[in-house]
């Protein structure tokens, strides 16, 4: 009897929660990022970012949005052995390692190897270093709610 009552209460709570969620979605549809697209990896168009070290230059490959003006999802190609100078970004960003082994840490912080499939979050306006630890280039996918900027820390 207790299990039936508990199950009925859980079902009722779920139904009420879903009904409220559906009503909220119907009242105000979410803004969409644009048209649906599918882009094979070999067709991602990369361009030079202007961020360089002796190991090479970061390249950016847009997936959606416009990294120079607002919200975006962008592939970042980082040469093998690249270590960024200490820098910040105005906006927070989320990153996933697609290829290689990367790292992202506070200056002087512990380097945690992040192989393909790993994730990090970078708080905006926080000084950090990003690097490609592997002998092969790294590719990261970043999502940022505003434009991408790169602010060197003196």
pTM: 0.78
Residues in the chain: 154
- Report residue 13 CA to chain centroid gap: 34
User: Which tokens belong to 3?
Assistant: 């299990």
Buried b (16+ CB within 10 A) or exposed e, 108-142: eeeeeebeeebebebeeeeebbbbbbbeebbbbbb
What integer pLDDT is reported at residue 23 of this predicted model? 47
pLDDT at residue 53 above 90? yes
- Dump pLDDT digits (tens) for 127-142: 999 999 999 999 999 9
| pLDDT at position 31 | 81
Q: Write out pLDDT tens, residues 5-34.
A: 444 444 444 455 555 555 445 568 888 777
Task: Tell whether the model's pLDDT for residue 64 goes beyond 80.
Answer: yes
Average pLDDT of every residue of the chain: 87
């Amino acid at each position: 009897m207790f299990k039936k009552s508990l199950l009925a209460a859980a079902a009722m709570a779920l139904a009420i929660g879903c009904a409220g969620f559906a009503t909220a979605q119907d009242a105000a549809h979410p803004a969409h990022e644009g048209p649906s697209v599918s882009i094979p990896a070999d067709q991602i168009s990369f361009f030079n970012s202007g961020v360089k070290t002796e190991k090479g230059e970061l390249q950016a490959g847009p997936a959606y949005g416009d990294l120079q003006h607002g919200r975006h999802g962008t592939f970042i190609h980082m040469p093998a052995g690249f270590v960024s100078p200490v820098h910040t970004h105005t906006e927070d960003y989320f990153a996933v390692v697609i290829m290689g082994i990367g790292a992202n840490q506070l200056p002087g912080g512990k380097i945690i190897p992040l192989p393909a499939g790993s994730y990090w979050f970078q708080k905006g306006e926080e000084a950090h270093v990003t690097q490609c630890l592997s002998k092969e280039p790294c590719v990261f996918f970043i999502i940022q709610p505003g434009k991408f900027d790169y602010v060197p820390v003196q």
